[in-house]
Copies of this chain bind each other. A is one copy, B any other.
């Protein structure tokens, strides 16, 4: 079977940058080892060609599932990479997606066109196929900006979590040694998006208060903040 068009068309692919976090609090990325040429044997982002009847996001989730076994993640569009020459097979344009997941809730399993699947620590990545190094770099920057204005991380922790866990998570994602405990707590609690739901038990130190994220309050906060922004205007924060 073959398909003929009046004008040439680039091939369209999707790629996924999946960040993973676990108890060890290392930030990792999910890679596959390519089973086929080009770049056979090299590590690459999970991804592949978009089918004709599927949405881009669907395609990304399908490839992710097929190649790594990972499913049920909330991905977001990152950027579309289309420089001629980025793929030796010819003109290939790739829409990249990214997500941050709780690593331990997403067991991996190699399949079909991938030899192996593995989580790599962010600062120990191998050389990647295609321009995937660049895609990862863009994703890391995006994640670190996102952390500023979105409550990332609540999905990554157990339903009930301690402020220390949350703080560690932020330290990991931001790639920083140690945030000030006092100030982190004040700030987070002042937002009023956490509900106290109990206390730790059976730990050999003062038990921490457990919190749960209050999504409704968060949505409300977002709304208010936006109105504030509009009211007071500019604020070159960067």
Which residues does A use to contact B, with CB under 8 Å?
1-12, 49-50, 52-56, 77, 79-80, 82-84, 91, 93, 95, 147-151, 170-171, 174-176, 179-180, 183-184, 187-188, 191, 193, 221-222, 225-226, 229-238
Contacts and interface: CB of A to CB of B under 8 A. Distances in A.
A79 B96 CA distance: 11
B82 A234 contact: no
Contacts of A179: 232-234
Contact of A50 (B1, B82, B221, B231): B82
Given A2-B5, A6-B2, A50-B82, A221 B233 contact: no
Contacts of A230: 174-176
Contacts of A77: 79-80
B4 A4 contact: yes
B4 A236 contact: no
A49 B171 CA distance: 44
Given A80-B95, A232-B179, A236-B149, A5 B9 contact: yes
Contacts of A193: 236
Contacts of A2: 4-6
A10 B222 CA distance: 37
Nearest to A179: B233
A4 B6 contact: no
Given A50-B82, A77-B80, 17 more contacts: A1-B6, A2-B6, A3-B4, A5-B5, A5-B11, A52-B84, A54-B84, A56-B82, A77-B79, A148-B229, A171-B233, A174-B234, A183-B232, A187-B234, A187-B235, A221-B236, A225-B237
Nearest to A55: B83
A77, A82, A191 interface centre (most CB from chain B within 10 Å): A82
A9 B11 contact: yes
Given A80-B95, A184-B234, A233-B171, A50 B148 contact: no
